[in-house]
Amino acid sequence: MLPDTICKTVRQHSRGKVPPEDMEKLQEIAEAYRKVKNYVYQRYGGIKSLAKIYPGYTVQNEMTDSGLRTQLGLPSVYFYLAIFDALGDIKAQWSQVKNSMLKSIRENEGFMPEDRHYLRFVMRAGSLFEAVLCNSRRELPKEMQGQYKALCTGVDRKRLDRYLCRQVRRKLRRLHTEKSGGFAIAERAYRYADHGIYISTMEKRRRVFVPLTDENTYKKQLYIKLFPEKSSIEIDIPVEARVRRNKEFEAVIGLSVGMWQLFTSDTGRIYGEQFGCLRQELETFISRGNRAYAKEKRNNPGRQKYKAGKDRLEAGLHTYINQEINRMLQAEKPRTVYIPRFPQSSPKGAKGKVNYSVTLWQKGYVRKRLRQKCLEKGIELAEVFGNNISRECSRCGSMGAYEKDTFRCSACGYEDDKKRNAAINVKRRGQSGQCIGREFMPYGSK
The residues of the shown chain that bind Zn ion, judged by CB under 5 A, are: 393, 395-396, 398, 409, 411-412, 414
- By beta-carbon proximity to Zn ion, the closer residue of 201 and 421 is 421
CA angle, 167 then 172 then 178, to 5°: 160
Cβ proximity to Zn ion: between 87 and 409 the closer is: 409
Nearer to Zn ion, 347 or 397 (CB): 397
Whether the Cβ atoms of residue 436 and residue 391 lie closer than 8 Å to each other: no
Query: For the residues of 115-159, what is the DSSP string, one character each?
Result: HHHHHHHHHHSHHHHHHHHHT------HHHHHHHHHHHTTS-HHH
Exposed/middle/buried for residue 216 (C-beta within 10 Å: 0-12, 13-18, 19+): exposed
Q: Which is nearer to Zn ion, 21 or 403 (CB)?
A: 403
* Shorter beta-carbon distance to Zn ion: residue 402 or 440: 402
Instruction: Compare residues 178 and 403 and give the one whose CB is closer to Zn ion.
Output: 403
Q: State in angstroms the smallest separation of the CB of 333 from Zn ion.
A: 30
Whole-number minimum distance, CB 391 to Zn ion, in Å?
11
State which residue, 347 or 413, has the beta carbon closest to Zn ion. Answer: 413
Chain center to CA of 427: 26
Nearer to Zn ion, 350 or 412 (CB): 412
- On whether the CB atoms of residues 287 and 355 are closer than 8 A, the answer is yes
- Smallest gap from residue 342 Cβ to Zn ion (A): 22
Question: Least distance (Å) from Zn ion to the CB of residue 253?
Answer: 22
Q: Least distance in Å: CB of 444 to Zn ion?
A: 35
What gap in Å lies between CA 421 and CA 367, rounded to an integer?
A: 21
> Minimal distance in Å, beta carbon 149 to Zn ion?
58
Q: Least distance from C-beta 435 to Zn ion, angstroms?
A: 24
Give the list of residues 6+ apart from residue 218 with CB closer than 8 angstroms, or none.
192, 237, 239
Min. distance of Cβ 400 from Zn ion in angstroms?
A: 6
At 248, the amino acid letter reads E
Contact between residue 420 and residue 364 where contact means Cβ atoms under 8 Å apart: no
Alpha-carbon gap, residue 42 to 36, rounded angstroms: 10
Spatial contact of 9 and 237, defined as CB atoms under 8 Å apart: yes
Please give the Cα distance from 18 to 101 (Å, whole number).
47
Helix axes 353-377, 304-332, angle to 10 degrees: 40
